[in-house]
Amino acid sequence: MQRTVVKINEARCIGCGERVSACPQGALEMVGGKARLAGDLFCDGLGTCTRCCHCGAISREEREAAPYDERRVMAERVVPGGMVRIAAHLEYLKMLGKSCFLVANQGKYMGYHAVTVGVTVLFGYLLQGCASGLQAGSPERPREVTVMVATDRAARDTDEPDRFFGSERGGMRFGACRVSLPPDHELAEIESPFYADDAAEHLLLTDIVLLEEQAFSSLVAAGSGLFPGQGSFLYVHGFNMSFSKAVRYMGQLTADLDYRGCPVLFSWPSKGKVTGYDHDEGAQLASQQNLAGLLGLLASRCAERELSLLGHSMGGRLLVGAVQQLLERQPGLASKIGLLILVAPDIDSDRFAREVAPALREAGIRVVLYASKGDRALRVSGRLHGAPRAGAARPRPLVLPGIETIDADGIDGEFFGHTYHHRSRDVISDLYYLLNFGLGPDCRFSLEPVDTTDGRYWRFRE
């Protein structure tokens, strides 16, 4: 399977010398059933910004004399056997295999500060056939969900998406992944293959496109802007997760939640094995600084309260640590975080009550905690650490000022009672109203209040 690496960079206009993005002055148009570009381009074929083109500051001959590498190369496609450079935008479109349209004020002049054409075209490619946010498909064909990904896993020397990122630590890498869901995918089901992959039957990672940080940031901002008020949703997976499994689970969650903002996965170098708990504890701690940087990047591109965060299990510990680092370095970005959801967090219960909850409350961040005393995985973790976990709800859920606690005990799910946000229809339905509409617990029909001497928490109705 081929792997695509897209590099989208600014270039210096050979007319005015200003660093600008590649941008169409008009739009893509259909001619004889094929897409072609209309209008002048800068930093593509001739390396001049639209402003200089319109005022005649530089001639075509001068533009054509610009060095080839500075004016044409927009993307690189890595294929088995070597590198193929993509020069012209029509070739770039063919490489992506999709005819995309860029509407620019009914064909009027688009300013030189507009979005990079490569980002826009790639965004159209990734979101092709959007019927619901980031999904596409039909009853007969597999559906596809696009997930933006940031990871500090080291890359392997392979072109297979399932094996491309391993469990070793590496530098930050960015990209977009496409997940294929079977046509008859059901809510709260993870259709994993036992033997051969089959798109008609299984949830599969089908494609990885690697991006420069700038292109990643632009895509996330563009995706968040498609549905005003939704923003971005960052998910941090837990212990025992390979990269492929994390992306597939994120695809399932995005589809089941019908999330209409931009879904982003942070995948840290978990070993992906039940026996790798010690490895994963060290890895999540080492990833906190990288995740804090990603949070800063996402928060800086979001409107007020439009960044939602969800951390599961050990990923909740990682997420909380990164948020605390962000608050120390850039406290002004706290207002961008509208919601912090912790599902079965593998965090010391006393530390959460004494340090974490007060800090988040003081920062004005809304925190929702899902916990269950039937969580066997956290029961084991509590024994290993000699301290109960915040997501274990033993002997009862943790009730703290400013924290919305949801008791998930007794709901349908898998045997270990630990991944109910993937496998329980009740929890997914609750998350749907929480993430898509921001409803409080008193407005989510599946919940009922429980009053205690420590305060109120919520549980699922029977």
Residue that wins the pLDDT comparison between 322 and 80:
322
Gyration radius of the chain's alpha carbons: 24
pLDDT tens digits along 341-365: 999 999 999 999 999 999 999 999 9
Q: Residue 28: count other Cβ atoms within 10 Å of its Cβ.
A: 23
- What pLDDT sits at residue 69? 33
Question: Per-residue pLDDT for 381 more than 70?
Answer: yes
Residue 380 maps to which CATH number?
3.40.50.1820
- The four Cα atoms 131, 136, 140, 141 give a dihedral, to 10 degrees, of 170
Compute the C-alpha angle 25/30/32, nearest 5°: 140
100 inside domain: yes
Model pLDDT, residue 200:
55
> Which residue range forms the structural domain that includes residue 110?
4-121
Domain end (from 121, 148, 177): 121
**Residue 130 domain flag:** no
Residue 160 lies in a domain: yes
Report the predicted TM-score, pTM, of the whole model to 2 decimal places.
0.74
Q: Read off φ and ψ for residue 383, nearest 5 degrees.
A: -70, -40
Residue 127, domain member (yes or no): no
| Tokens matching residue 69 | 């590498």
Q: Residue 56's pLDDT is what? A: 45
Inside any domain, residue 126:
no
Residues 408 and 270 in one domain: yes
